[in-house]
Amino acid sequence: MKILNVKGCNDYLPKEQKIRNYINDKLKETFKEFGYQPIETPILCYYDMLIDKYDENNDLVKEIYKLSDQGNRELGLRYDLTVPFAKFIAINKNKINFPFKRYEIAKVFRDGPVKLGRDREFTQCDVDVVGLSGQMVEAECLNLYVNAFQKLGIEIEIQYNSRNLMRGLILDCSVEEKNINPIITIIDKMNKISKEEFRESLKKLSLDDNKIDKLLQNFNLSLEELIKKYKETTIKELQLGLEELSQLNLYIQSLNINKYCKFTPTLARGQDYYTGNVFEVYEKTRKLSSSIGGGGRYDNMITNYIGDGNIYPAVGISFGLSSIYELLRDNEEISNDTDIQVYLIPYETEAITLKIANELRQKNIRVTIEMNKRKIKKCFEWANKQNIPYVIVIGEDEIKTNHLMVKNMKSSTSKEYALDNLDQLVDDIKNV
């Protein structure tokens, strides 16, 4: 038997996990600043619920891990946190107050291609708002992105677009309704495939050269050019899309985050449940080719799930922990940070050392004890490798004289403290 991880699944050593925890902590800090509350949803979902909003050719459907339980019920592992959140609202709508703002940081699974920053088991960090229409909350989501990535020290570019605009531009080419979503999927890949592949994909959907040329032209225009060209349009989707983007752009300017934001008319996001504006975040210099965040408005999903005649408008954004981790994994300042504040080395004083450690822990000091009876020199070498700031050797002399000599590993100095009054030691540690 080979002992190895499933492809696309990883172990994380303490140095690596410290970076991941650092990312999570900074994100949680930002989420709370913007008024979001924590929830938790199950990993296992009913399969038909997961695929409800997709056609069978959608890439995400192909990436769902499908399984069954002992009752032969078809189940799947969640591939994101949005569909389970829609289910959460449907079940708990009478227990929460709207608008409802939540965050969730949890594992999701996709049986897709593995590459740098894209795994098969990975953690998503999501924020969503249910009960708010309009672009004001969307602009706040973009501002949340800016604030969070500033805390993480990552320069970003946020791309934004409207699914309504895309639908309207496609309808303006006299395309059949059934072909709109497949065409959106192709346009979303427009910058990743050749012009020949792009044309061939559209021809398979019965688009002639004139329609393809018009699509190419429209999806290369700026927002200002589109507004000018279609100011008299009667296509409702096109009108709505331009209104959404114009309003969002106004808020972006007001927040002074326009230097981070870029209108991208080909951006669709892969999920068909998006109904309005969509967003995608990239590291500015493209150290990673994949996005490090994304989201958008999805007004119909929760509304259709509940089906009680009420409207449940929703917008959400996601942070890709695996991708963000790849950008910060070489940050030694984070990875070398220690969780241990004090290292106690007993010298034939194991019982009293346990007592001292307990007293320090009750005063919120993080303590580890040497239990392997290594030589003192080896203990100090280990403390240095672990970046532990304080080391205390506790022998019989220390017990008899009621004093502890505490070694500060960073300054290579020592200071004496009374054994029966550890408050001064605790104050000094906390005030560093």
Does residue 354 share a domain with residue 218? no
SS3 label, residue 363: coil
Does residue 343 share a domain with residue 328? no
296 closest CA partner among 325, 257, 264: 264
Q: Which residues constitute the domain of residue 86?
A: 14-332
Q: Give the pLDDT confidence score for residue 53 in this predicted structure.
A: 60
Q: Which of 286, 301, 332 is the last residue of a domain?
A: 332
Does residue 162 share a domain with residue 117? yes
Is 3 part of any domain?
no
User: Which positions of the chain have pLDDT values less than 70?
Assistant: 53-58, 117, 271
Is 6 part of any domain?
no
Is 2 part of any domain?
no
Q: Give the pLDDT confidence score for residue 346 in this predicted structure.
A: 97
Give the separation between CA 131 and CA 115, rounded to whole angstroms. Answer: 37
Is 63 part of any domain?
yes
Q: Provide the CATH number for the domain around residue 351.
A: 3.40.50.800
Is 9 part of any domain?
no
Q: Give the pLDDT confidence score for residue 55 in this predicted structure.
A: 59
Give the separation between CA 284 and CA 325, rounded to whole angstroms. Answer: 16
Q: Give the pLDDT confidence score for residue 255 in this predicted structure.
A: 97
H/E run at residue 216: helix 209-218
What residue type is assigned to position 5 of the chain? Answer: N
Does residue 311 share a domain with residue 385? no
Q: Which of 304, 332, 360 is the last residue of a domain?
A: 332
Does residue 366 share a domain with residue 308? no
Does residue 400 share a domain with residue 261? no
SS3 label, residue 292: coil
Domain count, the chain: 2
Q: Provide the CATH number for the domain around residue 149.
A: 3.30.930.10
Q: Give the pLDDT confidence score for residue 54 in this predicted structure.
A: 63
Does residue 412 share a domain with residue 319? no
**pLDDT-above-70 percentage for the chain:** 98
Which long-range contacts link 236-239 to residues 24+ away (Cβ below 8 Å)? 236/168, 237/164, 237/165, 237/167, 237/168, 237/171, 238/164, 238/165, 238/167, 238/168, 238/169, 238/171, 238/172, 239/168
Question: How many CB atoms within 10 Å of residue 307?
Answer: 8
pTM above 0.85, yes or no: yes
Question: Residue 229 in contact with residue 221, Cβ under 8 Å?
Answer: yes
- In sequence order, which ranges of 256-387 are alpha helices (DSSP H)? 299-306, 321-328, 332-335, 350-362, 376-385
What residue type is assigned to position 142 of the chain? Answer: L
* DSSP string over 374-402: --HHHHHHHHHHTT-SEEEEE-HHHHHHT
Does residue 365 share a domain with residue 327? no
Per DSSP, 346 falls in state: E
Does residue 417 share a domain with residue 323? no
Is 4 part of any domain?
no
Q: Give the pLDDT confidence score for residue 402 in this predicted structure.
A: 94
Is 152 part of any domain?
yes
Does residue 345 share a domain with residue 305? no
Q: Which of 332, 354, 389 is the last residue of a domain?
A: 332
Q: Give the pLDDT confidence score for residue 236 in this predicted structure.
A: 96
Does residue 147 share a domain with residue 199? yes
SS3 label, residue 66: strand
Q: What is the pLDDT of residues 211-224, one digit of tens each?
A: 999 999 999 999 99
Q: What is the pLDDT of residues 118-153, one digit of tens each?
A: 789 999 999 999 999 999 999 999 999 999 999 999
- In sequence order, which ranges of 56-123 are alpha helices (DSSP H)? 59-62, 82-92
Does residue 351 share a domain with residue 319? no
